[in-house]
Amino acid sequence: MVRRLLAGMIYALSGVLGILAFLYPFFMPYAPAVSANAIQRQVAPLLTAALVGLSLLALLLELQEQTLSAKTVALMGVLVAVTSVLRFIEVAIPMPGGFSPIFAPIIIAGYVFGARFGFLMGALTLLTSALITGGVGPWLPFQMFTAGWAGMTAGWLPHLHKRWELPLLCLFGFVWGLLYGAIINLYFWPLAQGPVEQSWTQGLGLKDTLLHYAGFYVVTSLMWDLIRAVGNVALLLLLATPMLKALTRFRRRFHFEVERG
């Protein structure tokens, strides 16, 4: 019980760390964009190391508490590896817009095994695939946090009648196709130079900040993210039914305890 509580606190700490990582540029003392970006490049490895350390610690506590069995952790490793290879294919054969094959498996796994499993799979998939594809950079911890949140929130979805599972997952995948890009942009948008009506400056109120960001997002990211959202729906239509059957059978066979919180 104590270990489970500690694991929950670690997941909560990871969430708080992620939120602070995205928001801290809005509260930095004024600095030229060049020096601000240099600061961000120095902070990114620390964020990556902290998130990886917290994820591994949470995984260890889950194993000791037997919330996750060794077989389930092995399955997570297989899913992370397979999904990372999908991203390698995405890099080798460039896809249109923001389309990526990695989100459908993350969403399905989070939905079947719960929020904690989904968070770990999302974060570790982005880490592993970045190492495989050479996509390591100051953006990596932010991608890990956001993909983890996609998997985590999939675990919060209600388990409806089978008739409604696929439409629910498709809607969820479409929303996260847009939301992923909208969240990722926040790590660099406060530091970006652009038209005044699409930029952020210190002293800008919340309403104007949201309006400026909306203008920036529509012009720079909306079409790119729409392609990702539609791609998520297409892959979920293709993969969700067989993956749900296989993963649900595995969960029942090994008496996996789904942790929604």
CATH number of 2-253: 1.10.1760.20
Name the residue ranges covered by the structural domains of the chain: 2-253
Q: 30-34, 36-40, 185-189: which range is least confident on average?
A: 30-34
pLDDT of residue 244: 94
| Cα–Cα distance, 180 to 2 (Å, whole number) | 34
Residue 256 clears pLDDT 70, i.e. is over it = no
pTM across the whole model: 0.91
Average pLDDT for 213-220: 94
**Residue 63 neighbours by CB under 8 Å, 6+ apart:** 69, 70, 73
Residue 31 clears pLDDT 80, i.e. is over it = no
Which CB contacts under 8 angstroms, 24+ apart, belong to 46-49? 47/17, 47/21, 47/141, 47/142, 48/127, 48/140, 48/141, 48/144
Cβ atoms of residues 166 and 123 within 8 Å:
no
Residue 257 clears pLDDT 60, i.e. is over it = no
Cβ atoms of residues 67 and 257 within 8 Å:
yes
Residue 161 clears pLDDT 60, i.e. is over it = yes
Highest mean pLDDT among 136-140, 151-155, 194-198: 151-155
H helices present in the chain, as ranges: 2-23, 33-65, 70-92, 103-113, 115-133, 140-154, 162-184, 206-220, 222-253
Q: 93-102, 121-130, 139-148: which range is least confident on average?
A: 93-102
